[in-house]
């Protein structure tokens, strides 16, 4: 073997086996697809040099893998005790969508295994890179000794109680994240590189190794010559390494240097592997439509398997016939395994498909809150007095919504040492609206900190931190700013449990200031009221408190659900109600609420998916279903109608996902007249879901809806023309009452 590479003959033979295994898995996937028994043919042929990267790492180093990392997966499986992980069977079960596949259970073909510390990713466009930055942050934070008890990214099998464990990775672990060359152009990859470099410039250590597997093609689109290397080499704060990914010895030598550098310095690096893509992008790809025969033939001469075979023969480690025999032996095993798994049972019902998506265990959530209350009133009472400066919030009188959120965050940070609050302007400034004011002083910059201005990176940091055993509570400054980062919630956060059957999870509560009705500071970006994309994400909880007492209780619920079930929640706070004090008349204090002392947390607990009803008069003539700013407006209208003898009930939905279906149906049936007051847009708004729920439940009474106009919001008073107002609510209510 090459003496300068560090690659021994024994290692080379083992890695050759991993490369051959990966190639035969690609061939088997195509045969299964041709027979109508397989459903995934994106292969790793030409990228098998990544087996050398696996050899340079430890099996305890967490890895988020590119979808062409078959040889890496096979090599890592071989590092464990024989038979502990059967890489061939695992991968083929994914190809045929077998319900027995151990990580995703037939929901998708992914590389993932808790035994191998391979975290499943389904992305083909690098959306897992921001998460990798967050995971490196969590690994280093744990190394530095921050208490990581509680909500863990990994947990044991369900035994009747949530079993929460510290991160399983060693103190000197390195996070590995691989991706394709075309992905360097994607916004999420750029965000991850930028955040890793930015963090390095600030002195924040991130033990992260990016690996770019560069075959020069993004499906059929060529990467310009030299572009990928120049792009990666020029990233500030990220050390650059380059290797010939078709040469196993070179790959291993450079990967070993890169891993050693990252492990020693705890700083980010990128390993640029030059590879080739053999057999096209996937089984249905006709390469001759965009590549010349000469180009294809040239890449065949660089086949990593042939080059590793030549390496072994030239070093006297094996004869050509021995290697051919080994190739056939592994191929026979792959074929036999493929025959054995092709007819395994598939997911047989909708219930089986969605089972790991978003478990809801409300009793455990309630018990978790009750235990936190006991600690706050007992062992943690002195700590509460110290943190609150001797003035406990329950003793300071009624609070606004913003004050209640601040006090609740403080209590949650006391009870959850692994919790972190971060985002743009949340630390020194205390948030644009003062909601996080004082938290940094109370808990220090390690737990309350400002981030760079990039929502994708903020969410990615949260996803990785949750996976690594922390409890992230990131803030997105305005709802409009979420939309450029939505895929971090849709494609990464909400799907983690789904594609790992709960083996991995990323608990997180995302606080977002949003909705409309700000006076003197508005326009589209600061008054955005579009929540359709959030309600469309499977498993995501969307909470919208309108009052201070609900805000406190619902935030505690979201955090407890994250702790118990790994839930990802969006906590949408109506900006216009942050500092509102009055309800009906100036000075009445009707929109203020006392902060519940810990001994009342259990009694005031708000379960996910439960609404709140307010009655005026007899409450038997009209039901108003609403949320957010609509609650206050509807209550004011209901009070006026009640004075005329029209009893109304105003139902605050509180949860937009999942909707409180049982409460909606019950409250609607109580009056037979329903008015849906929806401050979001008419098309794609919340009202559509509420009315559909009533129809599905067989509601036969009267129903009307008032909603915002389908437009972006203008600046200034013009917004009043397109938003729902009290006049419109009252007109619709009177029309229903007279029907």
pLDDT (tens digit per residue) in 577-597: 999 999 999 999 999 999 999
Q: Residue 153: pLDDT band by 50, 70, 90 thresholds?
A: very low
Chain-centroid distance, C-alpha 549: 28
Residue 246, helix vs strand vs coil: coil
Would you state the pLDDT for residue 151? 39
Which residues touch 690 (CB under 8 Å, ≥6 apart)? 625, 653, 659, 664, 676, 678
Those residues with Cβ within 8 angstroms of residue 459's Cβ, 6 or more apart along the chain or in another chain: 130, 474, 476, 485, 488, 489, 492, 493, 510
Q: Judge whether residue 610 has pLDDT over 50.
A: yes
Q: What are phi and psi of 670, to 5 degrees?
A: -70, -25
Does the pLDDT of residue 638 top 70, yes or no? yes
Residue with tokens 């509570």: 473
For residue 625, report the phi and psi dihedrals to the nearest 5 degrees.
-105, 120
Euclidean distance between CA atoms 30 and 335, whole angstroms: 12
Structure tokens at 234: 């020029």
By three-state DSSP, how is residue 15 classified?
helix
Distance in angstroms (rounded) separating the CA atoms of residues 286 and 709? 48
As a whole number of angstroms, the distance between CA 561 and CA 565 comes to: 5
Reported as a pLDDT band with limits 50, 70 and 90, residue 125 is confident
Residue 55 token pair: 């050899």
**pLDDT at residue number 145:** 65
* Least confident among 139-148, 196-205, 217-226: 139-148
pLDDT at position 167, please? 52
pTM: 0.94
Instruction: pLDDT band for 149, please (50, 70, 90 cuts).
Output: very low
Query: How many of the other CB atoms lie within 10 Å of CB of 580?
Result: 20
Alpha carbon separation from 17 to 87, 116, 120, 463 (Å, rounded): 12, 18, 23, 35
Which letter does DSSP use for residue 484 in this model?
G
In which residue are the tokens 């700000």 written? 518
**Tokens 């955005």, located at residue:** 528
Query: What are the residues facing 472 on neighbouring strands?
Result: 420
| Residue 155: pLDDT band with limits 50, 70, 90 | very low
At 428, the pLDDT band (50, 70, 90 cuts) reads very high
Collapse the DSSP code of 384 into the 3-class scheme (helix H, G, I; strand E, B; otherwise coil) and give the result: helix
pLDDT over 70 for what percent of the chain? Answer: 96
Full DSSP string of 538-600: TT-EEE---SHHHHHHHHHHHHHHHHHH--EEEEEEEGGGTT---SSSTT--TT-BPPPPGGG
Residue with tokens 């929901």: 107
Q: What is the pLDDT of residues 181-201, one digit of tens each?
A: 999 999 999 999 999 999 999
Residue that is written with structure tokens 């990016």 in the block: 210
Q: Cα separation of 116 and 448, whole Å? A: 33
Alpha-carbon span 473 to 422, nearest angstrom: 7
460 three-class SS: helix
Handedness of CA 560, 563, 566, 568 (dihedral sign): positive
pLDDT for 81 equals 87
Q: Which two tokens stand for residue 694?
A: 């009533």
Q: Are 660 and 688 in contact (CB under 8 A)?
A: no
pLDDT of residue 358: 85
CB atoms within 10 A of CB 404: 28
Model pLDDT for residues 441-488, shown as the tens digit of each residue: 999 999 999 999 999 999 999 999 999 999 999 999 999 999 999 999
| Interhelix angle 629-643/726-738, nearest 10 degrees | 50
Query: pLDDT digit string (tens) for 32-41?
Result: 999 999 999 9
Work out whether the CA dihedral 392, 396, 397, 400 comes out positive or negative.
Answer: negative
Residue with tokens 């191929």: 331
**Eight-class DSSP state of 465:** H
**Average confidence (pLDDT) over 304-312:** 97
pLDDT for residue 1: 65
Residue with tokens 């590119």: 66
Whole-angstrom distance between the N-terminal and C-terminal Cα of the chain?
89
123 pLDDT band (50/70/90 cuts)? low
Count CB-CB contacts under 10 A for residue 4.
9
- What string of DSSP letters covers 78-97? HHSSTTSS-HHHHHHHHHTT
Do 124 and 219 meet the contact criterion of CB atoms below 8 Å apart?
A: no
Predicted pLDDT of residue 124: 66
Alpha-carbon span 87 to 316, nearest angstrom: 29
Is 316 exposed, middle or buried (CB count within 10 Å of its CB: 0-12, 13-18, 19+)?
exposed
Whether the CB-CB separation of 24 and 82 falls below 8 Å is answered with no
Does pLDDT of 522 surpass 90? no
Place of tokens 């590549």: 291
Instruction: Quickly state the pLDDT bin for 305 (edges 50, 70, 90).
Output: very high
Q: Is residue 570 exposed (0-12), middle (13-18) or buried (19+ Cβ within 10 Å)?
A: buried
* Digit-coded pLDDT (tens) for 709-725: 999 988 888 899 999 99
Pairwise CA distance, residues 638 & 70, whole Å: 63
- In the prediction, which pLDDT does 164 show? 34
Tell me if 252 sits within 8 A of 5, measured CB to CB. Answer: yes
- The CA-based diameter of the chain, rounded to the nearest angstrom, is 99
Rg over alpha carbons for the chain, rounded to the nearest Å, is: 28
Residue 156: pLDDT band by 50, 70, 90 thresholds?
very low
Cβ neighbours of 253 (radius 10 Å): 19
């Amino acid at each position: 073997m090459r003496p300068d590479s560090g690659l021994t003959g024994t290692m080379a033979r083992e890695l050759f086996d991993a490369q051959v295994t990966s190639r035969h898995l690609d061939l088997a996937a195509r045969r299964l697809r041709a027979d109508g028994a397989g459903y995934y043919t994106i292969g790793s042929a030409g990228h098998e040099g990544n087996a050398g990267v696996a050899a340079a790492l430890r099996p305890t180093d967490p890895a988020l893998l590119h979808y062409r990392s078959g040889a890496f997966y096979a090599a890592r499986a071989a590092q464990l005790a024989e038979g502990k992980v059967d890489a061939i069977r695992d991968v083929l079960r994914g190809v045929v969508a077998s319900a027995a596949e151990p990580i995703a259970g037939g929901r998708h073909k992914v590389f993932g295994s808790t035994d191998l510390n391979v975290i499943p990713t389904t992305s083909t466009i690098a959306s897992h890179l921001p998460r990798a930055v967050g995971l490196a942050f969590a690994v280093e934070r744990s190394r530095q000794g921050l208490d990581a008890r509680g909500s863990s990214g990994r947990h044991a099998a369900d035994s009747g109680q949530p079993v929460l464990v510290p991160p399983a990775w060693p103190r000197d672990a390195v996070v590995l994240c691989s991706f394709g060359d075309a992905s360097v152009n994607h916004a999420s990859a750029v965000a991850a590189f930028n955040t890793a470099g930015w963090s390095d410039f600030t002195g924040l250590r991130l033990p992260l190794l990016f690996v770019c597997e560069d075959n020069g093609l993004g499906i059929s689109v060529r990467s310009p010559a030299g572009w990928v290397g120049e792009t990666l080499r020029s990233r500030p704060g990220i050390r650059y390494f380059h290797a010939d990914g078709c040469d196993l010895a070179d790959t291993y030598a450079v990967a070993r240097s890169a891993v050693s550098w990252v492990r020693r310095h705890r700083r980010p690096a990128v390993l640029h592997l030059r590879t080739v893509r053999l057999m096209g992008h996937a089984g249905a790809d006709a390469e001759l439509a965009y590549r010349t025969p000469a180009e294809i033939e040239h890449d065949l001469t660089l086949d990593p398997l042939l080059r590793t075979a030549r390496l072994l023969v030239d070093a006297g480690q094996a004869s050509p016939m021995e290697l051919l025999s080994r190739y056939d032996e592994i191929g026979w095993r792959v074929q036999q395994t493929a025959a054995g798994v092709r007819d395994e049972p598939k997911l047989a019902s909708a219930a089986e498909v969605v089972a790991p998506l978003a478990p809801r265990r409300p009793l455990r959530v309630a018990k978790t809150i009750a235990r936190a209350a006991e600690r706050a009133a007992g062992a943690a009472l002195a700590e509460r007095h110290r943190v609150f400066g001797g003035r406990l919030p329950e003793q300071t009188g009624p609070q606004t919504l913003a004050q209640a959120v601040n006090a609740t965050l403080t209590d949650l940070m006391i009870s959850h040492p692994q919790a972190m609050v971060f985002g743009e302007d949340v630390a020194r400034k205390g948030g644009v609206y003062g909601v996080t004011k004082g938290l940094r002083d109370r808990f220090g910059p390690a737990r309350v900190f400002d981030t760079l201005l990039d929502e994708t990176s903020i969410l990615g940091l949260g996803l990785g931190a949750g996976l690594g055993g922390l409890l992230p509570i990131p803030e997105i400054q305005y709802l409009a700013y979420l939309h450029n980062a939505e895929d971090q919630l849709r494609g990464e956060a909400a799907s983690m449990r789904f594609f790992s059957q709960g083996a991995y999870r990323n608990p997180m509560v995302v606080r977002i200031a949003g909705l409309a009705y700000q006076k003197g500071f508005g326009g589209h970006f600061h008054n955005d009221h579009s929540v359709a994309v959030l309600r469309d994400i499977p498993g995501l909880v969307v909470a919208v408190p309108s009052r201070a007492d609900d805000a406190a209780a619902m935030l505690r619920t979201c955090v407890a659900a994250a702790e118990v079930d790994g839930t990802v929640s969006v906590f949408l706070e109506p900006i216009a109600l942050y500092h509102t004090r009055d309800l009906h008349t100036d000075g009445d204090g009707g929109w203020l609420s006392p902060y519940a002392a810990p001994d009342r947390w259990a009694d005031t607990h708000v379960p996910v998916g439960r609404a709140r009803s307010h009655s005026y008069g007899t409450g038997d003539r009209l039901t108003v279903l609403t949320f957010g700013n609509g609650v206050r407006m509807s209550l004011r209208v209901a009070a006026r109608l009640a004075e005329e003898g029209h009893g109304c009930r105003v139902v605050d939905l509180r949860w937009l996902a999942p909707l409180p279906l049982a409460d909606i149906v019950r409250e609607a049936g109580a009056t037979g007249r329903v008015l849906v007051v929806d401050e979001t847009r008419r098309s794609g708004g919340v009202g559509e879901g509420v009315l559909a729920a009533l129809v599905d439940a067989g509601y036969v009474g009267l129903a009307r809806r008032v909603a915002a106009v389908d437009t972006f919001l203008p600046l200034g008073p013009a917004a009043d023309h397109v938003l729902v107002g009290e006049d419109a609510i009252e007109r619709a209510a009177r029309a229903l009452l007279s029907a």
